[in-house]
Amino acid sequence: MTVTVGAFEAKTHLSELLARVEEGEQVTITKHGRPVARLVPVSKTPLSRDWSAFWEKVDTRLVTLSPGTSIRADIEAGRK
């Protein structure tokens, strides 16, 4: 559920709004009727990613790149 409040009301009732956000609601804060911010619950699972496989491929590619090879040409060839 999304609740919309003005900036003054948000400032006045911030603790209450944060409690609602903790319960899973989203709060849109407006200034002169225009949305300017949104309070949303923080994800319970971190948005981390295992980049080790990616960096391993990068390292392998850098090792096998021969002098004079154009990375741009390789990228273009990969798009075909």
Class of domain 2-78: alpha beta
Long-range contacts of 36-40 (CB under 8 A, 24+ apart): 36/7
Q: 31: closest CA among 54, 5, 52, 53?
A: 5
pLDDT at 12: 97
pLDDT of res. 37: 96
What are 61-78's pLDDT values in tens digits?
766 666 777 778 778 888
8-state DSSP, 59: H
pLDDT digits (tens, 9 = 90+) for 1-60: 889 999 999 999 999 999 999 999 999 999 999 999 999 998 766 667 788 888 888 877
Structural domain boundaries of the chain?
A: 2-78
